[in-house]
Structure 1
């Protein structure tokens, strides 16, 4: 998928922007189960165990983990977490993260500063492009019907 975000290192990659469970060179996305969900594949776990397992992919992004672990919505509600990045050799360069509900409505966007990382202007453009593709923004045409024709 061609994305013209202005961040050449990110744009050079074959960007895969898909919702749900995904691992690619530019993003990690996963459904995050509610804290109260305890059963998986016939096994019963302690409350919060399955959510903690789902959040392991965000171990480098502590603010995302904290948000999901502390927000009361996620006691009983599933959400989707996305980490947006590119690789510079062996180093992962994070641009930000998103948390949506399962209908893809944006619940929280984390920019680099929110993640405790130094600001990069081009990361804002990357996050804007990815937010449009991963949330319900891409489904919303906000112009009135009579103005579209």
Structure 2
């Protein structure tokens, strides 16, 4: 697989999987699985990570909008496997944890669930740093000043 094809595939996969997680949280809220306070806390934990790498993915897609040929180098199968395996495991674990909390199983209370969710998102941040930002340029937050040149650092 070429690096460019992997970027598009993993980018679409990550954005869609996080939208599914947000959709699941909304559905569980409407099914009375979460109170409004719990629901907003879940979104407050999940949304920032989603926004961080989605910005990098969308910046790549916009920058590449007029590129029609693929001259990017090939990447090996192990890199492709781990690019998809780690977020897949994490998305499944988070989705299951949403379901279990909404049905009052496993977690003693919402604080236990919240700590677990924060831990999972922290693990994903490590993955994002290693794989996502190796494929996509990390974007500066809106309004941030980016230093360039020899004095940047």
TM-score normalised according to structure 1 size = 0.27
TM-score normalised according to structure 2 size = 0.27
| Bigger proportion of residues as strand | 1
| Bigger proportion of residues as helix | 2
* Rg larger in structure: 2
- Structure having greater relative contact order (Cα 8 Å, sep ≥ 6): 2
